[in-house]
Structures are given as structure tokens and as C-alpha cells.
Amino acid sequence: MTSMASGAGKLALTYVSYSGMSALLAVSSHHPGQPLAVPPFAAYLKLDTTKLMSWQPSPYVSSVENYSRGIFLFNTWQQYGDGRTRTRNGLLSEKLQLSEMPLEENLHEVCRRAVTEEEMQRVVDASTTIQPGYPAPAYDPSYKTPLRVVDEIFLDHTVEIEQSKSYPGLVTVYHLYTVDILCTGLPTLNFNTLEYEAPDEAGHRKLKYIHAWVWMKFESIQRYLFEGSVLKERITKGTFTSPEQLRDWLAQFDIDLHSYGTGQLKSVAELWKEVEAEKTHL
């Protein structure tokens, strides 16, 4: 019998908003490697995952015993239903619905769904994989998940803005939320989970992924995430020709520029001089 423990995890929720609908309406077709067409966007609207906005989460998962030790669950690899595998090295992730806003009123339900209905919906042994010549694990409608979300702790909220890769002309605003999730029913050892697609017209549910979960110290998880991140911009000597240009660049972030140069705080001009002297880079 598998020993079960209580657990905790970090949930990173992403809220996306789009602007520039006139540009979207000019899109008419979609081919692999090209922007999405209007019909998929309309489908997202119908599914309540987009309304000129969308959501997507990514949680850390850990046991209550391990939580105090800074140990969480990390998704190292995934196997597709057809047997292909890929390295993931990421956190639990899940698309959110606009109807779940405001988040503080729906946080428990969001965390519960992320843990029990999506990537971690069916807990299996760590040895569970699809071997050549063998079928994927079949969906078992009688299965009852042992996982229960007992608490969630909101930690952080950040915002990222970029041009939409799927819809030319639209600006995408990502609202990223980090939440610790406390659960019961997590295995004490590394394990895998099965994620199935939604039922087809005949009611059949195909295997979407097998997810591999390992217990890992948070410092190691941070290293993996940092190595997989992309530095979007580096501000160094010569980037800006004046303090005014630096101020304009800083203005796009949620920074209180009015406090710069007041009291004991240095001014934007002094920051620019430090950048130009290569004492600082941003």
C-alpha cells in the first residue's frame, strides 16, 4: 500500500488581456507555425478562457511535512498518449476561467481544480509509462482521487506585457500570481499522474499526458526555472543617451518614479550615471 502524506504547492496563475480587436478580425487562416485564426479565438471566448483576457496557472506542489523543509513537487518530464516523451522541468499549470475573477473570492476552487482535475487528476506509481507495443492506460471512471486541497496561501502578483504571438496586432498582458497550496493525500515518494482529454462525442477520454513528479528542494526548482527563463532585455552602458530616456523606459513598470531623488533616495539621473559608468546594469 502506498503511504500518503499531506501536501503543499505553489500555484502561479496567469491572467491575460488582449487589446486591438480590429487587427484580430483581419486574421482569416491558420497553418502550423503561423498565427491562430479567428475561429480558435472565438472558441476560447465560448470556453470562458478568453474575453479579451485569458488565464493560465503553474503550481509548485509539496507535502505538509516537506513544506516546512522547503521541498516541493516538480514536473520533470511528460509522456504523450502516443508514447512520445519530452522534458518539462516546470510547475503544475492550468488555464483559468474569467468567471473565477476576482481571484480572492475563488482561490480555493481554482487551486482545487488545478490539483484534482487536471495534470494531477489521477495518481499512479512512478514506474507507470507507455512502453512500445503497449496501449496507453485506459480511463477509469470509478477512480477517486486521494488528493484534497486544505489551504492556499497567496504569495505574489507580477505583470508582463508583450505582443501576442498568436494574434498579430494584439497586446497580451499577463497577470502572474503565486500561491502556496496545502494538500493531503500526496504520496511520500516520487510518483506519476495521468491527465486525460475531455470526453469525445462518444464519451471516450483519451490519455493526454503522463506527468512525472519528483520531490525537490525549492532552491533546486528555482535553478531549473532560472536556467529555462529568457532574459528579455538588458540595460547597460550606451542603451540610453540621457536620464530622460531611462525614465521613459522605467515608466512602463510599476515603479514610483516620483520618489526618486527625494530624501535619501537617488535620482533617475544618478542611476543613469551609474549605468553609464558600468557600476550598475538593469
- Phi and psi at residue 18, to the nearest 5°: -115, 150
Q: Do 207 and 90 share a structural domain? A: yes
Domain boundary among 207, 227, 247: 227
C-alpha–C-alpha distance, residues 124 and 186, integer Å: 11
pLDDT band at 18 (very low <50, low <70, confident <90, very high): very low
Do residue 69 and residue 86 come from a single domain? yes
Domain count of the chain?
Answer: 2
Q: Are residues 205 and 253 in the same domain?
A: no
Q: What is the DSSP string of 194-231?
A: EEEPPP-TTS---EEEEEEEEEEEHHHHHHHHHHT---
Q: Of 11-25, 43-57, 63-77, which has the strongest mean pLDDT?
A: 63-77
**Whether 61 and 169 share a structural domain:** yes
For residue 97, how many other CB atoms are within 10 A of its CB? 17
Say whether pLDDT at 253 is over 70. Answer: no
| Residue 275 in grid coordinates | 549605468
pLDDT score, position 123: 96
Identify whether residues 134 and 261 lie together within a single domain: no
Which of residues 227, 251, 267 is at a domain's end? 227
pLDDT score recorded for residue 165: 73
Q: Residue 84, CB half-sphere, CA atoms under 13 Å: how many?
A: 5
Amino acid residing at 119 = E
What is residue 185's predicted lDDT score, i.e. its pLDDT? 92
What local confidence, expressed as pLDDT, does residue 167 receive?
67
Question: 253: which 3 cell numbers?
Answer: 513598470
Q: How far is CA 88 from CA 54, 85, 166, 206, in A?
A: 22, 9, 22, 21
pLDDT attached to residue 1: 29
Q: Is residue 166 over pLDDT 90?
A: no
Name which residue leads in pLDDT, 170 or 196.
Answer: 196
Q: Are residues 263 and 200 in the same domain?
A: no
pLDDT band at 30 (very low <50, low <70, confident <90, very high): very low
The answer to whether residues 210 and 116 belong to one domain is: yes
DSSP state of 58: E
Q: Are residues 25 and 115 in the same domain?
A: yes
CA distance 93 to 198: 17
Question: At which of 210, 227, 244 does a domain end?
Answer: 227
| Whole-number pLDDT of residue 252 | 67
Q: Are strands 122-124 and 191-196 parallel, antiparallel or unpaired?
A: antiparallel
Report pLDDT for 237.
80
Query: Is 17 in the same domain as 90?
Result: yes
Instruction: Kindly state whether residues 10 and 150 are assigned to the same domain.
Output: yes
**pLDDT tens readout for residues 119-165:** 899 999 999 999 999 999 999 999 999 999 988 888 777 777 877 77
Residues 223 and 254 in one domain: no
Segments forming the whole domain that contains residue 237: 233-282
What average pLDDT does the chain have? 75
Q: Are residues 162 and 258 in the same domain?
A: no
